[in-house]
Amino acid sequence: MNKTKAEEQFHKTEEQFRSVMQECRTLFEKKLHDYGASWRILRPSSLTDQLFIKAKRIRSLETTGESLVGEGIRPEFMALINYGIIGLIQLERGYVDTVDITPGEAMQMYDIHSRQCLELMLRKNHDYNEAWRDMRVSSYTDFILTKIQRVKEIENLHGNTLVSEGIDSNYMDIINYACFGAMKTKQAE
């Protein structure tokens, strides 16, 4: 049976998404080796600020075109993916004063949340019909910054929202937009 052009495009998106997520997973695993799960100590507000500075750096690089550190936009999108998954783990487990999980346990949780993000992306990509492909990378950055601002507001409200989706949904959207950004910036290389 022949695949339609749309089915081929959806399949390509899934392959590209999985590839970026695998790159991020490999980096996450290496950092776990070097630092352990030291991020378990991060409180929600600190994690939100870490996401914020990564997204602001991308925006700065996009607007100025200048990097004095020597790292480009794509590594920052990948950092957003990994910190977003850390955020999902922290929401699930809470923060601690000392590291309480092994690297193996951290990788199991990483894989669970990564899979959930893939499933969400596939559902949304179906409904939005590959719209991400026609968007500018700078729009992903702005949407990520908007999601981070929403998380800050929800944190300020101590989670007592009236109609909004929770912090976890915003983290998953940040991860997925960052993945699209990493996919597009890789294509541009």
pLDDT digits (tens, 9 = 90+) for 79-128: 999 999 999 999 999 999 999 999 999 999 999 999 999 999 999 999 99
Residue with tokens 């019909």: 129
What average pLDDT is seen over the chain? 95
Between CA 80 and CA 97 the distance in angstroms is 23
pLDDT at position 24 over 80: yes
Assess contact for 155 and 49: CB atoms under 8 A. no
The pLDDT of residue 59 = 97
**What would the two tokens of residue 58 be?**
């991308």
Task: Please report, as a single letter, which amino acid is at residue 157.
Answer: L
The pLDDT of residue 69 = 79
The pLDDT of residue 188 = 66
pTM above 0.85, yes or no: yes
Task: Please report, as a single letter, which amino acid is at residue 32.
Answer: L
